[in-house]
Amino acid sequence: MIAPVIEAVDVVKRLGRGAGQVQALRGVTLNLAPGELTLLMGPSGSGKTTLLSILGCMLRPTSGTVSVCGETTRRAGHGKLARLRRDHVGFVFQSYHLFPTLSALDNVRLALDVRGEQGEPAIARARDMLETVGLSHRKNAFPHAMSGGEQQRVAIARAIVGNPSVILADEPTGALDTENGRAVMSVLANIARDPSRGVLVVTHDPRVMPFANRIIYIEDGRIIGEEAGRAGLAAAE
């Protein structure tokens, strides 16, 4: 059996204090396998983003355990959580969060720079990643001069340039039209074909379902169901 890249067991997360406290997650257990694109779907307020923050080592669970590539986040301080993110996780955000003052190439390079990888090898690697997402011709463009789809693909290049085992994408097609959304999902699906890497996409956009190997449904902080996606079924056939 292939070891999961992320393993969450009975994760509970309470947010806020006192009377305003909210239980965002109520005992979530899930595994993210490498070589798969998994969708996490659910309505607004269902706990998707909180779960993503916990799986991405940005938040610690109130109880339960999370392991990323075999390393637990239990009792991890800010420094260890940052290292886990740096070493194992790549993020793709709905709003891209590119640095407006940096070119596409520098935005991708940044993810290597924070890992201490600099100089010509880092530039070459960033250039390769832009080529992977089909944007080598836009390497000197600044975010404001790129379309939403292009910006999201730069964000994907930034997420994968450090060769992480896990890609977590939060509504990656949320701000894109159908064509750009499909292009972005194709890139993510290709990344998920890598047997050493798992991709988890949080979405409520049904247009992305054909790209999934697996779909997990969450509601009121609980996993309420799971099914194989069309890509998963095709692979099984």
Partner 1 sequence: MSLIFKLASRNLFQDKLRFIATIIGIVFSIVLVSVQLGLFLGFQRMVTTMIDHTPADLWIVSLGTKCFEDPSLLDKSDATKALAVPGVTAAVPLLIGFTEWSVPNNGSTPVFVVGTSPNGLYPWHIVQGDLNNLSDARGVAVDQSYFGRLGVNAVGETTTIRDHKVEVKAITKGIRSFTTTPYIFAPLDSAQDYVGVPHNDISYLLVRLAPGTNVAAVRRALMKKLDKVEVLTQAEFRDRSRTFWLFGTGAGAALFGGALLGAIVGTIIIAQTLYSSTKDHLTEFATLRAIGSSSLYIHKVIVSQALLSAVIGFGIAGLIDYTIVRMTTDSALPIVMTPLLMIGLFALTVVMCVSSSASAIVQVMRIDPARVFRQ
Please answer whether residues 196 and 34 qualify as being in contact, where contact means their C-beta atoms are separated by less than 8 angstroms.
Answer: yes
Judged by CB under 8 A, does residue 106 bind partner 1? yes
First-residue to last-residue Cα distance in the chain: 20
Q: Which is nearer to partner 1, 129 or 231 (CB)?
A: 129
* Whole-angstrom distance, CA of residue 84 vs CA of residue 78: 10
User: Could you tell me if 167 and 200 are in contact, meaning their C-beta atoms sit under 8 angstroms apart?
Assistant: yes
- Kindly calculate the radius of gyration of the chain based on its CA atoms and give it in whole angstroms: 17
Count interface residues toward partner 1 (CB under 8 A): 35
Q: What are phi and psi of 158, to 5 degrees?
A: -65, -35
Query: Which position among 86, 193, 204, 222 is part of the footprint of partner 1 (CB under 8 A)?
Result: 86
x/- map, 66-85, partner 1, by CB under 8 A: ------------xx--xxxx
Shortest distance, position 111 Cβ to partner 1, whole Å: 5
Query: In 10 A of CB 48, how many CB atoms?
Result: 24
Please identify which residue in 125, 138, 153, 158 interacts with partner 1, judged by CB under 8 A: 158
Q: Does 97 bind partner 1 (CB under 8 A)?
A: yes
Q: Does 26 bind partner 1 (CB under 8 A)?
A: no
DSSP 8-state code for residue 101:
T
Q: Residue 102: what residue type?
A: L
**Exactly one of 60, 109, 138, 197 binds partner 1 (CB under 8 A); which one?**
109
| Least distance (Å) between residue 233 CB and partner 1 | 30
Residues that bind partner 1 (CB under 8 A): 49, 52-53, 56, 58-59, 78-79, 82-87, 89-91, 93-95, 97, 99-102, 106, 109-111, 113-115, 118, 158, 170
